[in-house]
Amino acid sequence: MSHIDLESAPADRPPSLLRSVGLGYFLIAFFARVPFAMMVVGVLTIVATARGSISAAGMSSAAVGVGTACFGALLGAAADRFGQRPVLIVVATANALLMVAFAAVVYSDAPDLAMYAVAFTVGATAPQVAPMSRARLVGMIDRITRPERRPRIVSSTMAYESAADETVFVLGPFVVGILAAGLAPWAPLVGAAVLTMAFVVAFALHPTARRARNTGHDSQLASPIRELFRARVLVIVIGIFGVGLFFGNTLTSLTSFMADRGAAESAGVMYGVMGIGSAIFALGVSILPARFTPRARWVVFAAVMLLGSTLVATADSIVTMVVALGLVGIGIGPTIVTQYSFGAAASPVGRSTTVMTMLGSGVIVGQSFGSALTGQIAETLGTPAALLLPALAAAVVLGSGIVNARLYRPVLR
């Protein structure tokens, strides 16, 4: 396990980190995440529109998630071994071409099975920008800061990264909706391909990629693969899978909720209520008192998620739903920050990018599975049944937080 002690008090990220990586890095890393956030929703949108089948759309988005689950962590391991730059350039090029190919297959006479196969490859080649950015920044913090300051800086950096993710996961579906409605159903995937070639490649070529290559990639220094399957790592992966599941369940059930009221196109705006609050409270983690430990934070804020999800399940008006989503936002942002901070602490030596990629893959896999499952339930059992699923996902997050607290009790005070 790494040396990071999560129980130290958080603080704002110092200027030295900004000077070390440059403001341009944060802008590039932010926009390079957008295609990843557009991918699942873009696939869902084009299939549902072009082939007129919600079931096929759900299966396609699930295939994207399966592809990410199978290869996301392997891409992280390759980056730990060979460096982020060559891995990102290869997968960015492949992913951009495959998104365009998927759009072509959807509009062709190819059978659904072929469409699912291409969707799988889209997920398999998805550039893991967010986890690789976290790994770069944690490595930079290790080099430029004194040991006693590292825990607080890592906590603040994870808060920023999580807020960026929250913003992107709200922005992504919104951009998909605008492009699909304003141009054509294929436009979101083509747009994502263009953004991938522009910003993911720029992220790969940024000087911080070379520095990441020089940190912990040497296979002779890296911990054995089996260290990735320790309970302390797996419980974090399960917890963040629950967050992704929650995203998928919430967006899809909210779409059904608004469709029942004749305003399905407004679901993204409603979803943004949760995302904006989540981003704000994620940044607020840096000012929480030291006595409010990360073990407790995960449990408490996951409980807030569960409470808000209960209100979502019982909402009978748009006003009630807005209040419920606002409450959920209070809980979900700090929960994600805490999970990634534990991920940084639990990363075996030389495997930080792999662990961060496992966590990033957990989000997209959970979102894909949640969207597909909730869509099927909404179509067969109705909106009230679909609105129950976010609470189940929140229960997964809370349960894993409780297990995590017990696992870390002997180590973290």
* DSSP reduced 3-state for 125: coil
Instruction: Kindly give, in sequence order, each residue whose CB lies less than 8 Å from that of residue 262, ignoring residues fewer than 6 positions away.
Output: none
Query: In this model, does residue 215 exceed pLDDT 70?
Result: no
Least confident of 11-25, 26-40, 241-255, 317-331: 11-25
Instruction: Give CA–CA dist 411/231, Å, rounded.
Output: 14
Query: In this model, does residue 346 exceed pLDDT 50?
Result: yes
Q: What are the angstrom distances between the C-alpha of 128 and each of 34, 147, 234, 261, 396?
A: 11, 28, 19, 37, 24
Query: For the segment 116-160, what is each residue's pLDDT rounded down to a tens digit?
Result: 999 999 999 999 888 888 888 877 777 777 766 766 777 777 777
What value does the mean pLDDT take over residues 58-69? Answer: 83
* DSSP reduced 3-state for 28: helix
Burial status of residue 184 (CB atoms within 10 A of its CB: 0-12, 13-18, 19 or more) = middle
Look at residue 12 in the predicted model and tell me its pLDDT: 47
Query: For the segment 283-293, what is each residue's pLDDT rounded down to a tens digit?
Result: 777 677 778 88
Look at residue 16 in the predicted model and tell me its pLDDT: 65
Look at residue 265 in the predicted model and tell me its pLDDT: 56
Question: Of how many residues is the chain composed?
Answer: 413
Which DSSP category does 198 fall into?
I
The answer to whether 256 and 378 are in contact (CB under 8 A) is: yes
The answer to whether 69 and 361 are in contact (CB under 8 A) is: yes
Query: In this model, does residue 268 exceed pLDDT 80?
Result: no
CA 117 to mean position of chain CA atoms: 23
Residue reference for tokens 């004194």: 146
What confidence tier does 409 reach under pLDDT thresholds 50, 70, 90? Answer: low
Query: For the segment 292-311, what is each residue's pLDDT rounded down to a tens digit?
Result: 888 899 999 999 999 999 99
Query: For the segment 2-45, what is each residue's pLDDT rounded down to a tens digit?
Result: 444 444 434 444 446 667 777 888 899 999 989 988 887 788 77
Rounded to a whole number of angstroms, the distance between the first and last alpha carbons of the chain is 16
**Average pLDDT score, the chain:** 81
The answer to whether 306 and 383 are in contact (CB under 8 A) is: no
Least confident of 10-19, 92-101, 376-385, 391-400: 10-19
Look at residue 350 in the predicted model and tell me its pLDDT: 67
Classify domain 15-408 by CATH architecture: Up-down Bundle (1.20)
Query: In this model, does residue 337 exceed pLDDT 90?
Result: no
Q: Which amino acid is at 410?
A: P
Q: What percent of the chain has pLDDT over 70?
A: 86
The answer to whether 361 and 310 are in contact (CB under 8 A) is: no
Instruction: Give CA–CA dist 274/280, Å, rounded.
Output: 10
The answer to whether 122 and 43 are in contact (CB under 8 A) is: yes
Radius of gyration of the chain (CA): 20
